[in-house]
């Protein structure tokens, strides 16, 4: 099984966001310790680098290295980016690119805390809570 993890789940974990951290940690643990392959979109790495800019450089590099040790980093094609640019039905361009990366990775699911942002996704979407419920019985 392949899961593309949305940046909000990673940020819930890294920033220890109240009410969301425990589920995010379980998802990351699933990807790091089981037969579930986790992946993240290439732009997630660059966005994390920017968001964590106040973290000292050495620590920020260690954080991102740890993320890259757990998750495969996937990109998408030029044509898919152009398709996303032209897709006015998707309300958030970044979310559209997430779906394109998930498709490229042959992901079974996108894991996000904002499923309503992915109503037009070509890849099924689960919240961390729903994913944990499903994976607990696998």
3-class secondary-structure state, position 116: helix
Please tell me the predicted confidence (pLDDT) of residue 136.
Answer: 75
pLDDT of amino acid 83:
85
Whole-number pLDDT of residue 137: 46
pTM of the model: 0.92
Q: What pLDDT is stored for residue 67 in this prediction?
A: 95
Burial class (CB in 10 A: 0-12, 13-18, 19+), 111: buried
CATH of the domain at 107: 3.40.50.1010
- What's the CA gap between 64 and 11, in Å, rounded? 12
Domains of the chain: total: 1
Asked if residues 22 and 132 have their Cβ atoms less than 8 Å apart, the reply is no
Q: Report the alpha-carbon distance of residue 97 to residue 51 in Å, rounded.
A: 19
- Which pLDDT tens digits describe the chain residue by residue (138 residues)? 999 999 999 999 999 999 999 999 999 999 888 788 999 999 999 999 999 999 999 999 999 999 999 999 999 889 988 988 888 888 788 888 999 999 999 999 999 999 999 988 989 999 999 999 988 744
Name the residue range of residue 93's domain.
2-135
The pLDDT assigned to 93 comes to 87
């Amino acid at each position: 099984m392949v899961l593309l993890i949305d940046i909000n789940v990673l940020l819930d974990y890294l920033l220890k966001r109240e009410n969301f951290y425990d589920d995010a940690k379980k998802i990351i643990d699933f990807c790091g310790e089981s037969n579930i392959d986790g992946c993240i979109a290439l732009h997630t790495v660059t966005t994390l680098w920017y968001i964590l800019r106040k973290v000292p450089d050495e620590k920020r590099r260690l954080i991102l290295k740890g993320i890259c040790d757990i998750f495969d980093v996937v990109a998408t094609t030029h044509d898919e980016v152009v398709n996303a640019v032209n897709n006015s039905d998707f309300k958030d361009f970044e979310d559209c690119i997430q779906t394109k990366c998930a498709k490229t990775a042959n992901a079974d699911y996108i894991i996000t805390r904002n499923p309503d942002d992915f109503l037009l996704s070509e890849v099924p979407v689960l919240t961390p809570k729903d994913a944990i419920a499903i994976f607990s019985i696998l």
